[in-house]
Amino acid sequence: MADNTLEIERVSKRYGDVVALDEVSFDVRAGELFGFVGSNGAGKTTTMRIVLGVLAADAGEVRFAGEAVDHQTRTRIGYMPEERGLYPKMKVLDQLVYLAQLHGMSANQAHASARNWISRLGLAERSGEEVQKLSLGNQQRVQLAAALVHDPAVLVLDEPFSGLDPLAVDVMSDVLKAKAANGVPVVFSSHQLDLVERLCDRVGIIRSGRMVATGSVGELTADAAVRLRIVAPGATPGWADGLPGVSVISDSGAETVVELAAGADDQAVLTAALATGPVTEFSRRTPSLTELFRTAVAEEKTPA
């Protein structure tokens, strides 16, 4: 791929006996928002650190625009680390100007860019304050500004949404969407799956150091088992138990969600529901990203 795609190919990493990453591969295309999700300890931060070159992989390669990422390319990546890496005693504006210059901008460019991001991220009234005196959410806005101030060609953000209030979530979302719309590949990790589902063009699910699914939520959903939602106001809990090929996911009696095994008969479910009285809704249900994620994690916990 010669365009501005970020490619992570068969990257592996061990910490002693712990296999943190086992041949992890995915790509983040130019102009897309890619959500990187996985349980605690699944390997997200390790992957991002390797992309940044903060950590060396044992095997595999990271490429940007078809070229192996090297020291030069890395200056074009905007990175928001999980352990926020700002200078606590430095003032917001000074900090951003300093970081922009560190990435090669002239003093004038650095000032203009820093002021632009301070304003866009709602930090204008804080620009003369020391970072350590800001609230955590505002420190996070500064951290995002620090990732953006040198006008990066790639954005790699480790849990940028954690701890933000709803308005800050909107600000962060808008900024990431705007960067993607400008052709920048944007990858971020998050445990807020509803947000990832809403925002991302594609997602990758990592489990114990292995990518178990990559694609748009629609694509991942298409591979998932069929679910039915049945509303039968007169039904009592347990009405769907024991139907062949049917697993009950949730059952409050009146409202039930079931999953069908391959080849199971949805009409048999309908017949059973009708036997309880009127059925006011009988619909196929698309699983949410949260449900897809739970299934992926549950598979891990089920011994083979």
Ligand X SMILES: Nc1ncnc2c1ncn2[C@@H]1O[C@H](COP(=O)(O)OP(=O)(O)OP(=O)(O)O)[C@@H](O)[C@H]1O
Contact set with ligand X (CB under 6 A): 15, 18, 20, 38, 40-46, 82
Closest separation in Å from C-beta 16 to ligand X = 7
Nearer CB in complex with ligand X: 14/133: 14
Nearer CB in complex with ligand X: 38/185: 38
Q: Is 110 exposed, middle or buried (0-12, 13-18, 19+ CB in 10 A)?
A: buried
Helices (H) and strands (E) in the chain, counts: 10, 14
Closest separation in Å from C-beta 234 to ligand X = 44
Nearer CB in complex with ligand X: 82/197: 82
Whole-angstrom Cα distance, residue 139 to residue 290? Answer: 28
Nearer CB in complex with ligand X: 44/227: 44
Closest separation in Å from C-beta 148 to ligand X = 22
Of 23, 134, 13, 158, nearest to 77 by C-alpha is 158
Nearer CB in complex with ligand X: 82/151: 82
Closest separation in Å from C-beta 48 to ligand X = 8
Q: Is 107 exposed, middle or buried (0-12, 13-18, 19+ CB in 10 A)?
A: exposed
Closest separation in Å from C-beta 188 to ligand X = 12
According to DSSP, the residues that pair with 228 across neighbouring strands are 258, 284
Would you give the distance in Å from CA 173 to the centre of its chain?
12
Q: Enumerate the H helices of 162-250 as residue ranges.
A: 166-181, 193-199, 217-223
Structure tokens given for 82:
């999980």
Nearer CB in complex with ligand X: 205/292: 205
Residues present in the chain in total: 304
Query: Would you put residue 273 in left (φ > 0), alpha (ψ -120 to 50) or beta?
Result: alpha
Closest separation in Å from C-beta 198 to ligand X = 20
Give, for 297, the enclosing helix (H) or strand (E). Answer: helix 289-301
